[in-house]
Amino acid sequence: MKEDVLTFNEQYNLFNQGDHLFLAVSGGIDSMAMLHFFAEINKQWDLNLTTLTVDHQLRHGESEADAQFVKEQSEALGIPCEVISVDVKRYQKKYQVGVQEAARELRYDAFKKYVGVRGKLVLAHHGDDQVETMYMQLTKGLVPTGMKASRSLYSMNVIRPFLNVAKTDLTTYMSDQRLPHREDPTNQDDQYTRNRFRNHLLPFIKQENKNIHKSVRRVHEQLSEDEALLTQLAEREMGLFSQFCEQKVTFSIKSFVSLPQPLQRRGFHLILNYLSVNTDRNQGFYPSFIDWLTSNQPNSTWSPNEQWRAIKSYDECTITVESDKALEPYNIELNLGGKATLPNGWTLSVELYDDAQQVDLNRQLLINVDESDLPLMIRSRMPGDRVKPLGLKGSKKVKDIFIDEKIPKVKRDSWPIVESKQGEIIWVPFIVKSEFVSRTGALKLKLTIEGEQD
């Protein structure tokens, strides 16, 4: 087994001389084999090892005993051990999730605090686990991507150096050296999906092919290579018509649906990954998303869960993790020489102007005012707002102007309206300026708006 693991490590460059490895050990036979394996090679590889074990506070004190067992065994090997206690039942109740999901979320959240960005979290998943995972994905109608030997997970570098060995390799390694371990009785409980695959499907498959883990690994490698190429193509295409911001991604619907289906699917998941959405919980949403995106609902919102939502407005779609809480109305005074930061991230400033200065007509506005017109007011829109556009007779509703300019609904409440002290609208930046700019006055001002129209 040792040679197989080291060969696999050489192929994927999982750990190197001097690495700080955090070993996730439960006390079961798989993770105990991993603990002893790294203890065996530690001196040769000059590794900095730390064991992490979690007491999930389940099974009436047995999980506490498991954690204590791991601590004793690890320290006997000269490897420091951190025992982490988490309250799974409380998390379950709060977020209305299953036992395994709650335990997993708490476990990785705790690991992250120790591993950080420089260490590597080592998991004891083996080839049989890979077989189970890929068949489980197939059963759900998902592409069987399986588990990667190395990946970023919860902002940690996670490695799985045992994916090329079978469960029997680990049990033989343990029995040959008469090494102790503990068994979690819930591993035999068929109420959990993975256990049903492990206890019933895997033995049947191994009757047909005892080296199924090797066959699956070859398939996994081929699928991974194909996936990497398609993802690269999706990244390139999405970059042509998408704007990636801190908490949202906006893209052209027409351009997106013109992509081949394989690139659409990967583009969708690239967005969720970029926004740090838990994709394990969102893998099955693409068909519903594309049905909504291509439906005859020009302006609508689709929110499959509390993590994220998609907003469709004309030919633009925004996927965001921002709260959908209504924006509070705002009203900001702006005096001569002042600069204001607006709720949508833009800034607006006002200064005196002389004829020698250049003007960006898209982002700047020149007006003549009297002292009585100051301070200017910058505010959010209000029901009934009307503006008298320069060069046109009469007035027009700001609401209608937004519609004519195809400004997405989600942006309208934060879009600034600039008005005089007397309440007359002067400018709706990037969209319309009013007849106010044709007036004469004692002061000549330049208004500058800065920000991206994403």
Is 31 annotated in a binding site? The answer is yes
Question: Using CB atoms within 10 A of its CB, is residue 348 exposed (0-12), middle (13-18) or buried (19+)?
Answer: buried
Does 394 appear as a known binding residue? no
From CA 378, how far away is CA 429, in angstroms rounded? 11
Residue 29 among known ligand-binding residues:
yes
30 labelled ligand-binding: yes
Q: Could you tell me how far CA 424 lies from the centroid of its own chain?
A: 44
Residue 267 in marked binding region: no
Distance linking the first and last C-alpha atoms of the chain: 54
Binding residue ranges for ATP: 26-31
Binding residue ranges: 26-31
